[in-house]
Structure 1
């Protein structure tokens, strides 16, 4: 007399397993859609955008504000492995607006197969030059104001004293940059004329950034190679400590950098 009840119990357990699997699959599909089309998290492994984005900062980037390009649907790289990393066969962006000067962009340089993050400094048709550490846009020196000093440590553990400046673009937007000196290798350049449909990118850590000033490594970035606009930090931990190491949080999490716009500076 107990056999029908046993079958009913087994059937109920099997149904629960299938319902759980369906829920998990649905959740994964939603996460993939959100990450592919709307917002994607990134982390900062190098010093090129300090103090704006520090090594160990995690931020979310908006993938739809500028529309979609060749590399928009990459779900990220893990070492040498890329998850759903492919190029769309398109030569122009689909939907979205053009970037503004001062936006922080995630992009894929033409000579590279990894994502970079820098600030949009030059728009199509602009002339960009650096002379004695000062940035010139279309022949006019960009205003900067010294606001202090700090210690800057790169991904190799090399610590240098830097001078912090508040830089103001011609449109009136401001951000923080830092300089080790005004006579480093990339502090005196020739003129760069940004081609149509391209952007000129620079790191806020001006003396520790390989950016569009290095034509062989980054150079002018085609609009179609833009991936996302950085918007907000949601986590930050020192020394690139993996976030899953919860026991490291009390001494190493930078609580004052979390849940803020990327240009917010807790100085």
Structure 2
């Protein structure tokens, strides 16, 4: 036993000193303005898919406020996996657009809209969102030529609705096809400490309706709240100046 302890202690001391040296070297970086902005305040993300159209489109770049819901292991790169819980925790509200790690694959960041809080009952009926047994207000908008957002011909017409959640937050959604795969679902009851999220492009989004691919999102998987579009670029490389500053 004594021999085993003697062989371990020098290695432990060496590791401790290495950690101390690395920490000393990193202190100027940790307290530099870019580091503080990037890792404690806002993290930039780009939008690679159309699942949140028309709110966010491919080529948008957004800032996610990391302080909005507190900090957890997904707030910082290289955080050890054994860290759990959040500090300075705050819960999202209906309609928040959140960035989070997919519970089925925590190496991937997603952005969706919160429509269900812990204890809520969520269902889709004929494409309409049902929250706690009450249909969410859905106001018809003009039919739009947005087929490309749904994987259809660019000139194809799709329906556009404005949903209004109980806290009066409203936003527009795309309805690509009638009776889509997730237009009619069973009732989902949101567990404690979890959220139910949807993409605004309802027929072209992997979200909490897909239990095997995502399901309920633990609040500990939150990275931040999408706050503003700070840059946007079209597929042809042209900047979309009109989208700058928009709030999701």
Structure 1-normalised TM-score?
0.76
CA gap 1:182/1:155 in 2 versus in 1, 3 angstroms:
closer
Q: Distance in 1 between matches of 2:82 and 2:172?
A: 37
Tell me if 1:227 matches 2:230.
Answer: no
1:29 Cα offset (Å): 3.7
Counterpart selection for 2:90 from 82, 97, 108? 97
Tell me if 1:129 matches 2:123.
Answer: yes
Tell me if 1:256 matches 2:242.
Answer: yes
SS of equivalent residue, structure 1 residue 185: coil
CA gap 1:219/1:204 in 2 versus in 1, 3 angstroms:
same
Match of 1:144 in 2: 138
Q: Distance in 2 between matches of 1:44 and 1:184?
A: 24
Relative to structure 2, which stretch is displaced further, 29-38 or 41-50?
Answer: 29-38
Aligned pairs (5 A) from 1:70-81: 70-74=73-77
Asked if the contact 2:139–2:162 (Cα under 8 Å) also holds between the matched residues in 1, the reply is yes
Tell me if 1:190 matches 2:176.
Answer: no
Asked if the contact 2:122–2:130 (Cα under 8 Å) also holds between the matched residues in 1, the reply is yes
Q: Can you give the 5+ residue segments of structure 1 that lack an aligned partner in the other structure? A: 1-24, 75-84, 242-247, 263-267
1:28 Cα offset (Å): 9.3
Tell me if 1:153 matches 2:156.
Answer: no
1:26 Cα offset (Å): 5.7
Asked if the contact 1:212–1:219 (Cα under 8 Å) also holds between the matched residues in 2, the reply is yes
SS of equivalent residue, structure 2 residue 138: strand
Asked if the contact 1:201–1:211 (Cα under 8 Å) also holds between the matched residues in 2, the reply is yes
Asked if the contact 1:46–1:154 (Cα under 8 Å) also holds between the matched residues in 2, the reply is no
Q: Can you give the 5+ residue segments of structure 2 that lack an aligned partner in the other structure? A: 1-27
Structure 2-normalised TM-score?
0.82
| Root mean square deviation of aligned Cα | 2.1
